[in-house]
Amino acid sequence: MSTSGDTDPLVRFASAAAARSTLQAWADGAYVVRLLTAVRDKGWTAYLTEPRSVGDLATYSGLAPERVADIVDGLEAYGVVDRNDETVRFTAEFTALAADDAWVGLDELLDRIGLTTRLVAATAEAGPLPLTEADALVVARSSGGNSTHITRALFDRLFLPKLPELVEVVRTERWLDVGCGVAGSTLTLAGLFPELKAVALELVPTVAAETRRRAEAQGVADRVDIRTTDVRDFDEQDAFGGAFWAQPFFPEATRAAALATILRALRPGGLLFLQEMEPVPDEAARPAYTVRRLVAQAQGIPFGRTAEELTDETGAAGFEPVRVAQTDFGRIVIVRRPD
């Protein structure tokens, strides 16, 4: 066992105590997430969007009232629920997060936390990270979000005013979504623009099936053609006025071929949009950033490429830069296929 260079027992004790406090603070957050996940799995999160008594919860859960009261105390201490003398329910913030119209909801977030926890542990093992189709669906749901009246309002008020080029394209020409996941953005655009005609490409069959279900539920399946395919096998040429590439999810080995396919698919002068994800954070956010980078890079996925780096990458593939747009969703790189 290694030892500190300082042999003063009191100094050593204080150093170990500081480390214990740090570790305990990390653990405290993990405990409440695990508790919230457990009660979610028992159906409490839907039940608690309305005021309930502890007795109601005991009957619903099959637990003793004393155990329910202790669980409620824990959730209340972390700001998950509000409690008065008679009832308990989610706080306004958690009610909004658990609602069906949330952009990314409580279920999606808890599932992504659980998956990331498993993947972080797997990075200490040799070989690629294990990622199943079910895992890919968790990533897609938590990244792409839901197309609801809330997301349409966000796009309409905060995002699209900064991207007039995108609005013009989706109103007048075909749109290509490459690596669409659950196609949250394209389905939102379809809800805003009845003129939109889109093709969305998704490699994972389980994810593509969920995306089709969402398109049908939203009533836009006749305008959003979701295809289960590797983008490198897509063969339409000179066919689209605009495209979006979900670049953060493409491994290094596939990126050049994906860009070559997109370049061919766009008409001359057609625009490609890319989102800068995971810009270098401030010091307070850096610890969590490093863990996300660990997981991404263990999957062979480039992490945190800047708008400038994305401009260079697309330039090497034959695109011409147009501009970098600053939006409430981060920086958007806009490049074009040369005339």
Q: For residue 7, what pLDDT is reported?
A: 79
Least confident interval from 4-8, 27-31, 158-162: 4-8
**Domain span(s) for CATH 3.40.50.150 in the chain:** 122-336
122-336 maps to which CATH number? 3.40.50.150
**Percent of the residues in the chain that have a pLDDT greater than 90, as a whole number:** 93
Instruction: Label residue 280 by pLDDT band (50, 70, 90).
Output: confident
Question: Top-level CATH class of 9-99?
Answer: mainly alpha
Q: What is the pTM of this model?
A: 0.92
**Domain span(s) for CATH 1.10.10.10 in the chain:** 9-99
Q: What does R_g of the chain's alpha carbons equal in angstroms? A: 24
